[in-house]
Structure 1
Amino acid sequence: MHLFKTLPFLLALTLGAANAETIRIAIGTQDTTINCATGGLMIRELKLLDKYLPHDGKYKEVTYDIQWKNFTSGAPLTNEMVADRLDIGAMADFPGSLNGAAFDKAGKKSLFISVLSGSTQGSGNGIVVPKDSPIQSISELKGKTISVPFASTSHGMLLRALKAQGIDPDKDVTILTQAPEVAAPALQTNKIDAHADFVPFAELFPYRGFARKIYDGSQANAPTFHGALVSAEYARKYPEVVVAYLRAALEADRLFAAEPEKYSELIEKTTGVEAEVAYLFHGPLGLQTRDFTWKPEYRQALKTSIETLRYLKKTDANLDVNTFVDDRYLREAFKLSGRDYDAALKDYDKLPLKANDALTGKPITSIKRVAQVWVGGEAHVRSYASPENAFTDARKLEGEGKKIRVIYAQDYNSGIKLFAQQAWFVRDAKGQLAAFLGKDAAATWARANNGTVVDYAAARQSAKLASN
């Protein structure tokens, strides 16, 4: 096997990784953090790593000891990596920064080797309020109690979002630390006014019916991502193994892109996070882009996370992003997978939607008003050129006794994917509907376009009247 011909830094490997050696590959995953799925859950469940591990040259007589360990957050995963009980781990930019700092404090080094999924807009993080709360926007949170997992990506988003509204996070609000499993009952019992969280909880809680999303991270224009890290010593010793892991992740990404419904169901089966939520993130036009490349926005997100963590006094490390991020293994994985890394680096498109309107049969040529319906018992989500077409067809399907699992819409301003039941709509003079995450944004657009703001129920009713 002749890897890394153009990478002299790896040719100085010792011959110690020799015959009859047992090589441990201990991988820490975050299954419920579904942004990490292609770097953990899917590789494990589909046994993809075995396909790419080297078995020739110095690895000819090697035995691989593949170990998987699941975590609910990045901090304990990092502890295991620093203690040399894990070799590879998947986490977001903020905990990833703390990973680098923890390694540095221990006199070691970790490398951020790949993005797995993210949003250059900032989608993924979000703020929710109790379902029946009168609060409609972040500007109304002044004087309120907000919880968030401290030192997380969503914590950084919350601080930036509050400051953008002129709200002092230290004086104008009370911020508590709460993990998602604690925040859920707190929202249900109205013990907090709002909760900020990372993937998938700002969508999962509303989907489960006890919260309502009022803010998306894209409104802060703060790029965010989840990615994979490795011990630098491990990568130096076994570079081909690291590349094999990344090739397996690329394969998982390809499989998900080809059949998002199927693998959203796998995520639900494995984690309990409903398939409808996984598809919202990773299906066509989803909240997140499964983008492995180190775009400038993701490098900047890492710099921002380091600066914010220093501000929060969670670390005094001053990591150099230029040496912390190492894309050499990823570039090799792309090459061996027959893909062009530099072309992918320039591609900012979400997973595209290529479909005909399920009601009219006509090709969907604009995504501004796209809506989708997932029908119970159907393997594929139906797509529509407009919410009114989706609502009309949903009503027909329900009349036939079929169950509607979920209806999606795209935010008319930002393009982010929404649960239609949680959205606000504007109906224009022609009866056409446009979806919005926030009521304020809907009202602003309605004033400028002579429209009327309606909620989900009224939007469905107006589609019914228009079709009669």
Structure 2
Amino acid sequence: MRKQYKKPLITTLIVLSLLTIFLISQTRDDQETRIHNNNEKPVVIAYQTGVDPSKVAQANQSYEKDSKQAIEWKKFDTGSDVVNALASGDVDIGNIGSSPFAAATSRGVPITAFLITAKLGSSEALVVHEGSEIKQPSDLIGKTIAVPFVSTTHYSLLSALKHWNIPENKVKIINLRPPEIIAAWNRGDIDAAYVWEPALSKIKTTGHVFVDSHQVGEWGAPTYDLWVVRKDFAEKNPEFLKSFVNTTLNQLNKYNQSPEHFVSDKNNLSKIANITGSKPEEIPLLLAGNIYLDRRGQVDTLSNEFAQNILDTAKFLKGQGKVDTVKDNYHDNVATQFLNN
């Protein structure tokens, strides 16, 4: 009789042990899920469709995993739309260019730049329509150029016109969002457009790049893609911002360590393409067109020339009638403490 009961008893003990292990594991997963999804309320982050390596971290949900914080990502077409959402409190953190940042801080919007996604280059460009007969800068006179107003591309376009000694009133500049630029381009309503991805790739199929933001930067008007945060959120959530910075820099470093290896991974390209709407085959060239700063480069740039660049941008925008006032300096709208290890 003892032998008859021995096997069922052992089987029962094994089943109970496995069930216990499963329940413990499930409990841990549930706890992590609660931390991940129910840590107060989700952080609302506004992003745009510019191509950069950190889009892989966004696709992988690395920001949520590293911070153990739920995040609600909201897509926007222009920096001015992001600024409006930040000003109203609808979003906590936003991805904008240095030109809308200069305009927003000049108007007193309570935001701070805490991370540079990229120093912009060929990922933003002025494209002229193949039927426009624009061969040299003077050919732009009398032509219609579309650009999202108070964006980095708007600032770059105006800076390029100034470099070419072409008065702004000699060119018809119209305010269109990237999706509207594509539609206007396809209808033949515009001769040229200064824009970013994915609209850039779409209009290049029937046009050619006349100048890009790398060249305009060489002429003395560099532009940046930034992460900015509402000041009240930054004061209450420093650890989340440090985690956000670390996650972003880890991804940028992976690209910088070996760009060839990064772009040879089709998963990286497809993830960036899914988020930005760009074509996977065009992403390697777009990534190569920008500069991605490491931690030390971030601190050095934000601590030194960046605030001066924002001041110069604000003065330029005021001269163009795009902002009413310019601050004495913009140091109080720049933060480096979240870059500390």
- The verdict on a shared fold, with TM-score over 0.5 as the criterion, is yes
Q: Which residue type is aligned with residue 93 of structure 1?
A: S
C-alpha RMSD of matched pairs (Å): 2.5
Q: Which residue of 1 aligns with 2:113?
A: 112
Mapped to 2, the partners of 1:308 and 1:315 lie a distance apart of: 9
Tell me, yes or no, if structure 1 residue 169 matches structure 2 residue 173: no
Give the match's secondary structure for 1:114: strand
Q: Secondary structure at the match of 1:266?
A: helix
1:256 and 1:97 mapped to 2: Cα distance?
28
3-state SS of 1:273 partner: coil
Pick one of 22, 26, 51 that aligns with 2:40.
Answer: 22
**Is contact 2:99-2:223 (8 Å) kept?**
no
The code of the aligned residue for 1:49 comes to Y
Q: Aligned to 1:129, what secondary structure does the other structure show? A: strand
Percent of residue pairs bearing the same amino acid type: 24
Aligned residue runs from structure 1 range 140-159, under 5 A:
140-159=139-158
Q: What does residue 15 of structure 2 align with? A: none
Q: How far did 1:252 drift?
A: 2.2
What displacement does 1:115 show?
0.4
What is the alpha-carbon distance in structure 1 between the residues aligned to residue 122 and residue 188 of structure 2?
A: 26
- Answer whether contact 1:153 1:198 (CA < 8 A) is retained: no
The residue number in structure 2 matching 1:92 is 97
1:279 lines up with 2:284 in the alignment: yes
Q: Is the 8 A contact 1:202 1:213 kept in 2?
A: no
**1:321 aligned residue:** 330
Report the TM-score when normalising by structure 2. 0.76
Q: What amino acid does structure 2 have at the position aligned with 1:304?
A: D
1:34 aligns with 2:51: yes
Q: 2:77 aligns with which of 46, 56, 72?
A: 72
AA of the residue aligned to 2:63:
L
> What is the deviation of 1:69?
1.2
Shift of 1:246: 0.7
Inter-partner Cα distance in structure 1 for 2:98 and 2:39:
34
Question: Alpha-carbon deviation of 1:273?
Answer: 0.7
Question: After superposition, what is the alpha-carbon deviation per residue over 1:111-140, rounded to whole angstroms, capped at 9, x for unaligned?
Answer: 100101114xx5443211112433223232
**1:326 CA drift (Å):** 1.0
Give the aligned partner of residue 53 of structure 1: 67
Equivalent residue runs for 1:422-437 within 5 Å: none
Aligned to 1:289: 291
Q: What are the equivalent positions in structure 2 for 1:351-430 lying under 5 Å apart?
A: none
Give, as a single letter, the amino acid of the residue that structure 2 aligns with 1:127: L
Q: Deviations over 1:88-123 (max 9, x none)?
A: 111111122233345x25xxx21100101114xx54
Corresponding position of 1:214: 210
C-alpha contact 1:28 1:69 (8 A) present in aligned 2 = yes
Q: Does 1:301 align with 2:309?
A: yes
5+ residue gaps, structure 2: 1-37
**3-state SS of the aligned residue for 1:22?**
coil
For 2:124 and 2:138, locate their aligned partners in 1 and report how far apart those are by CA, in whole Å: 17
Contact preservation (8 Å) 2:116, 2:224: yes
1:278–1:299 CA distance, 2 compared to 1 (3 A): farther
Task: Tell me the distance in 2 between the aligned counterparts of 1:317 and 1:169.
Answer: 21
Quote the residue 1:266 is aligned against: 271
Whole-Å separation in 1 of the counterparts to 2:305 and 2:63: 29
The answer to whether the 8 A contact 1:129-1:187 is kept is no
Q: Which has the higher helix share?
A: 2
What secondary structure, in the 3-state scheme, does the structure 2 residue paired with 1:80 have? Answer: helix
> Structure 1: where are the runs of 5+ without partners?
1-19, 55-63, 336-468
Conservation of the 8 A alpha-carbon contact between 2:122 and 2:212: yes
Answer with 1 or 2: which has the greater Rg: 2
1:45 deviates by 1.6
C-alpha offsets along residues 303-332 of structure 1, whole Å, 9 cap, x if unaligned? 2322233233333343432111111112x1
What is residue 227 of structure 1 aligned with on the other side?
Answer: 226
- Distance in 2 (alpha carbons) for counterparts of 1:185 and 1:178: 10
2:203 is paired with a residue whose SS is helix
Residue pair 2:78, 2:177 contacting (<8 A) in 1 also: no
Cα distance change of structure 1 residues 130 and 70 upon mapping to structure 2, 3 Å threshold: same
CA deviation digits over 1:140-197, x for unaligned, max 9? 2122222211111111111121122221112x22211222222223333432222122
Task: Summarize deviations over 1:408-438 as a string: whole Å, max 9, x none.
Answer: xxxxxxxxxxxxxxxxxxxxxxxxxxxxxxx
Question: What SS is found at the alignment partner of 1:42?
Answer: helix
Shift of 1:198: 3.5
Distance in 2 between residues matched to 1:166 and 1:77, nearest whole Å: 32
Cα contact 1:123–1:224 (8 A) shared by 2: no
**Are 2:192 and 1:194 aligned?**
yes
Instruction: Check conservation: 1:92, 1:153, Cα contact below 8 A.
Output: yes
CA distance in 2 between partners of 1:225 and 1:89 (Å): 14
Paired residue secondary structure (1:33)? coil
Using the alignment, how far apart are the partners of 1:268 and 1:228 within structure 2? 20
TM-score scaled by length of structure 1:
0.57
CA contact (8 A) 2:133 2:139 kept: no
